[in-house]
Chain A
């Protein structure tokens, strides 16, 4: 049967692990010894663990920063590329190159650029300002990680918004121009409403991605300094490496519940405004 491989693989490598994860989240399993039942203890532990709460806060900050600036940059570049400009395809391709580049490569590059003696600080000194050790200062490390992620991702948003802009019917613009509407009026009343489904797509995909942030943190800061860049997934992997599978599984399920809730709210909002 044609669907047999698909069912076999998703059964063995998706539904079975998902069930195991749920089971283990209620136990003290360490991967070596038989486990004993722990009830909801793992979940209540997490909610009173300052490192976990810090990781949640960091993930939210990372998500808000990247999903505010990223789509905004993407929309601005798309609006500019949608004008009559030469070499549009070239600009679009350039912005898209980082999207095709592995996050590990991007993080490695930015770790060098943001080094206390790196290119960014050289430029800062060149214009007469004080250099800063971006990745070693708990106050700036998370924003430095966010900046690298925005640089990697905004080309994706540019391309998606540009495609959406080009599919908006030009008659609407012509008709409103006849009625005397200026570009700003057109932007608020035609362009933005027309982009709504695309925005929902960008935010659903983007927020799910932001809540899974791991590669950047693993390479650039290893969660530090003093947990200032530990994300939920980084915390999960740390618990796993400490063979604390109960808390790791509970973290995983809290992540799924949060993402499910967020996606649900976004799709609802998208429908309401559409």
Chain B
């Protein structure tokens, strides 16, 4: 691939295409931020361009006062953190058992979990809602219209078990055997040896679960009919579905919903891409 020092037309064209597609990818975001800072009457005004004139924070004020976006934000944070916590704990424990321990019925149970990967969540939507309504009857803090209703069905994700099982499979049995001979119990081994070695896997699992929990929409929409359990995407969708849409308010809501994820992505790009493409069977360079 020897090239002369002068850039060839082919390379110039290539880089031009890449830059143009970058602009096409980023333009909707820029336009969204711009609109969130405009006055409603300026949004579709003929002369209104990318720079809001006059610029106003009214959209952001509105979504925190007229609409309970502060509450949705809190719900999203609680739900996402709880789902990540449960998955790190439960998925990792189960994955360790499936990778390193022998117990009766192991392959049958693993096969059963495999089935859950092939069935889309929508199939269970209606009975799951029914179960949440029943749970709500047992205790007003559980089930439909509560945060626990949003969290519970995602507390264990079989994909996470598979992901972590791959990581555990790479830990040599001899290390575990040596610890057992030294008299360490399974929980000690888990805490002192397995968890530290599986740290990169847990990071990937955390990102993957956090992203899917933060962006999840259909289930939080179905299970929560009131603001008590609505998350940011649900709150935003309700704004964007109104008959007369207040665009600056709606775009302010979109910015608030998207920004935390984009900030985390920019900060932890590599892990992020690894987390989301895990399962493709290729290592990301």
**B-binding residues in A (CB < 8 A):** 1-3, 5-7, 9-10, 12-18, 20-21, 24, 31, 77, 80-81, 83-86, 89, 91-105, 107-113, 115, 117-119, 151, 155-156, 159-160, 162-164, 166-167, 197-198, 201-202, 205, 208, 211-212, 214-215, 218-219, 222, 233, 236-237, 240, 245, 248-249, 252-253, 255-256, 259-260, 263
Q: Provide the residues of chain A in CB contact with B18, threshold 8 Å.
A: 77, 80-81, 85, 91
Give B70 Cβ to nearest chain A Cβ, in Å: 18
Please determine whether B262 and A17 come into contact, CB atoms closer than 8 angstroms.
Answer: no
Please determine whether A105 and B280 come into contact, CB atoms closer than 8 angstroms.
Answer: no
Given contacts A96-B265, A197-B281, contact A263 B25 (CB under 8 A): no
Pick the contact of A105 from B1, B152, B236 — CB < 8 Å? Answer: B236
In the A-B complex, the 10 residue pairs with the smallest Cβ-Cβ separation, listed nearest first, are A17-B127, A20-B127, A6-B94, A17-B124, A117-B44, A102-B215, A9-B156, A2-B97, A104-B233, A163-B282
Complex CA distance for A96 and B118, rounded to whole angstroms: 26
Please determine whether A102 and B101 come into contact, CB atoms closer than 8 angstroms.
Answer: no
Please determine whether A6 and B233 come into contact, CB atoms closer than 8 angstroms.
Answer: no
B250 at the interface (CB under 8 A from A): yes
Give A48 Cβ to nearest chain B Cβ, in Å: 22
Nearest neighbor of B110 in chain A, beta-carbon distance: A3
Please determine whether B161 and A102 come into contact, CB atoms closer than 8 angstroms.
Answer: no
Please determine whether B265 and A218 come into contact, CB atoms closer than 8 angstroms.
Answer: no
Please determine whether A112 and B282 come into contact, CB atoms closer than 8 angstroms.
Answer: no
Please determine whether B126 and A21 come into contact, CB atoms closer than 8 angstroms.
Answer: yes
Please determine whether A201 and B279 come into contact, CB atoms closer than 8 angstroms.
Answer: yes
Nearest neighbor of A197 in chain B, beta-carbon distance: B281
Complex CA distance for A11 and B15, rounded to whole angstroms: 52
Main secondary structure of the interface of B (DSSP, over half): helix
Query: Contact flags (1/0) for B75-119 with A, using CB distance below 8 Å?
Result: 000000000000001110110111001010000010011001011
Complex CA distance for A263 and B114, rounded to whole angstroms: 14
Complex CA distance for A202 and B269, rounded to whole angstroms: 21
Q: Provide the residues of chain A in CB contact with B21, threshold 8 Å.
A: 77, 95
Interface size on B, residues (CB 8 A): 93
Q: Provide the residues of chain A in CB contact with B35, threshold 8 Å.
A: 112
Please determine whether B109 and A255 come into contact, CB atoms closer than 8 angstroms.
Answer: no
Please determine whether A102 and B257 come into contact, CB atoms closer than 8 angstroms.
Answer: yes
Please determine whether A253 and B254 come into contact, CB atoms closer than 8 angstroms.
Answer: no
Give A238 Cβ to nearest chain B Cβ, in Å: 12
Given contacts A17-B128, A240-B125, contact A156 B94 (CB under 8 A): no
Query: Contact flags (1/0) for B253-265 with A, using CB distance below 8 Å?
Result: 1100110011001
Nearest neighbor of B128 in chain A, beta-carbon distance: A17
Give B280 Cβ to nearest chain A Cβ, in Å: 5
